[in-house]
Structure 1
């Protein structure tokens, strides 16, 4: 039996968050996989870094893919069948880790150093999406501003 949270009351006061609510419900039913270990660091106001411990993996064994709102980090390592281990404590198994990214989060790059894979992320909000102040005016002042703007545009066309 599946017990979803009821987000119906939130739908009354929010628009466009359907994806977030669906993600919250989906996360409850995913198996928890703790390997490989990773950190998510907020390095600045809009800067983030994911650091993952991938000891034993080389650059050719790892892939970092940015799909729409999803960052996929995968590692595949060919196993040596001729080796006879007396103790096998270093995990070298294949993995795939998915990170859900918010809108407008870009992957800047990735680096591998000392067995740590670091992926740099940055949130870049377009100018048209940033908050802006809307002037409140009467209908008369708005019409005057529109006429002034159109006169300026026509004047610029004549000069050009």
Structure 2
């Protein structure tokens, strides 16, 4: 018996990319730095919050390409001439990716108390009813 994939089900026409999207999302979540929260703030609003203590605003970047939201942090190396007796605060770069559904857009971002908040809004599409004419012959 062969395994039926989501994209090959006869009632799910046009959803063949969904399985690849789920696999890509699972790979993007590998690793745990920096920690993050995802909140449902309103009926059509979400907020992603990342712990970015120690990062200046200019060391953070947020890009959106198609449906992939990518948040990166890269701290500048300012350890020149400093002698650490103990170094427990890691200064490492990071990249976090989130796949957004169609119609979800970034409405803003801000850094507050060491947390980066990225606000998302889902636009509600209008209901469209279209009648299809049946041709003869």
**TM-score band, normalised by shorter chain:** 0.7 to 0.9
Q: Is the 8 A contact 2:69 2:98 kept in 1?
A: yes
Q: What per-residue deviation string (whole Å, max 9, x for no partner) do you get for residues 6-49 of structure 1?
A: 41585211122222111223445567210000000011111000
Matched, 1:98 2:103: no
Q: What per-residue deviation string (whole Å, max 9, x for no partner) do you get for residues 57-102 of structure 1?
A: 0111001111110111001111223322222222221111110000
Matched, 1:125 2:124: yes
Q: Residues 44, 86 of structure 1: CA spacing in aligned structure 2 closer, same or farther, 3 A cutoff?
A: same
Q: Distance in 2 between matches of 1:27 and 1:12?
A: 24
Alignment match, 1:151: none
How many equivalent residue pairs?
128
Query: Which of these residues, 13, 16, 39, is aligned with residue 14 of structure 2?
Result: 16
TM-score normalised by structure 2 residue count? 0.81
Structure 2 unpaired stretches of 5+: 132-137
Question: What SS does the corresponding residue of 2:85 show, helix, strand or coil?
Answer: coil
Q: Is the 8 A contact 2:50 2:116 kept in 1?
A: yes
Q: Distance in 2 between matches of 1:30 and 1:73?
A: 12
Deviates more, 1:13-22 or 1:78-87: 78-87
Question: What SS does the corresponding residue of 1:86 show, helix, strand or coil?
Answer: coil
Q: CA deviation at 1:131?
A: 6.3
Q: Distance in 1 between matches of 2:4 and 2:63?
A: 33
TM-score normalised by structure 1 residue count? 0.70
Structure 1 unpaired stretches of 5+: 136-160
Q: Residues 9, 95 of structure 1: CA spacing in aligned structure 2 closer, same or farther, 3 A cutoff?
A: closer
CA-based RMSD of the aligned residues comes to: 2.4
Which has the bigger relative contact order, CA under 8 A and spacing at least 6? 2
